Structure 1
Amino acid sequence: MSVQSFTADNAALLLIDHQVGTMGWVGSTSFEEMKRNALGLAKAAKAIGMPVVLTSSMEEYAQGPLLSELAEIAPEEFAARVKRQGVVNAFDDENFGAAVKATGRRNLIIAGVTNDVCTVYPTLSALQEGYQVQVVADAGGSPTKMADDIAIRRMDKAGATITSTNQLLAELAQNWTTERGGKILPIVASLMPQQ
């Protein structure tokens, strides 16, 4: 199977359940790293004109609201976010499926919280529907390292490409000296660990 490069022209970014409560349940990575990476993806997508679809689950319960920074980075997408009521697999929500289809893209970049529930099932559904999928594993996490490892193995075995935030952003940039590369480079720099 030939794998096509993901670009701003052929891919869409799906951010699933980056909610303050749900993110607090993650033990496989730090809250701050997960948040920094998810926001970095959103900033890059907006900077290069890639479609972004946001969804949340039961914001008024323990899961809590989506990260407020997403409203600043992607105000239209935040306002149009798909608010699911208890549907585990985002693709089982007809509004989410319609929002993804409306992007017109067959390459999906997926990051979600938690990887072992909110990321794995939409990824499997998207693959079954013929999408190419890259899962940005470090822009999400799971309650335990073991749960995260198992979810990542399951998605990988099903045909998703498992990637990291830096790796994905470099793929989207393709060349740091181009206009797109120049827009993504400062975002990549901002994600580097501070000494």
Structure 2
Amino acid sequence: MSYERFSTENAALLLIDHQVGTMGWVKSIPFEEMKRNALMLAKAASILQLPVVLTSSMEEYAQGPLLSELEQILPREFAARIKRLGIVNAMDDDNFAKAVQATGRKKLIIAGVTNDVCTVYPALSLVRDGYEVQVVADAGGSPSAMADDIALRRMDKGGVTLTSTNQLIAELAGSWATPQGGQLVQVLMTVLQG
């Protein structure tokens, strides 16, 4: 099977449940690192004008609101976010499924706040439905290292490509020498310089 790189022309980004409460349940990766990676993905999508679908689950409860920074980076997408009422697999929510289809893209990048719950089920559902899926493993985590490892293995076995934030941004950039590539370098350098 030949590999066609994910690019601004063929990919869309799905950010699932990066909510302040839920993020506190993740223990397999430091909170700040996971948050930084999720926001880097949002910034990259904004620079590249990638279609983005945001979703949250039960914002009024312990899960809390989506990261406020997402509203600053992706104001239109934030306003249009799909608010699920506790549906675990985001693809089982009709509004989310329709929003994903409306991107018109067959290559999907997924970052969910918990790899073991929020990410694994939509990722596997989308592969089953004929999408090519990359999961950005370090823009989410799980309550334990074991839970994260098992979720990543399950997705890998199920046909999902696992990637990291830096790796994905480099793939989307294609070249650092373009105007967009130069902006993406700035996003990466800000992080690397702490």
SS of alignment partner, residue 56 of structure 1 = strand
SS of alignment partner, residue 83 of structure 2 = strand
Match of 2:115 in 1: 115
For 1:93 and 1:190, the matched residues in 2 are separated by 36
C-alpha contact (below 8 Å) 1:124/1:155 kept by paired residues = yes
For 1:193 and 1:136, the matched residues in 2 are separated by 21
Match of 2:97 in 1: 97
List alignment gaps of at least 5 residues for structure 2.
none
Residues 17-61 of structure 1: CA distance to partner in whole angstroms, max 9, x if unpaired? 000000000000111000000000000101111011000000001
Match of 1:149 in 2: 149
TM-score (norm 1): 0.98
Q: What is the root-mean-square deviation of aligned Cα atoms in Å?
A: 0.8
Q: Which runs of 4+ in 1 moved over 3 A?
A: none
Residues 122-165 of structure 1: CA distance to partner in whole angstroms, max 9, x if unpaired? 00000001000000000000000000000000101111110000
Indicate whether 1:24 and 2:24 are aligned.
yes
Count of paired positions? 194
TM-score (norm 2): 0.98
Shift of 1:2: 2.3
Shift of 1:191: 2.2
Shift of 1:172: 0.7
SS of alignment partner, residue 15 of structure 2 = strand
Match of 1:173 in 2: 173
% identical aligned pairs: 70
For 1:163 and 1:171, the matched residues in 2 are separated by 10
For 1:159 and 1:62, the matched residues in 2 are separated by 32
List alignment gaps of at least 5 residues for structure 1.
none
For 1:179 and 1:49, the matched residues in 2 are separated by 13
Indicate whether 1:128 and 2:121 are aligned.
no
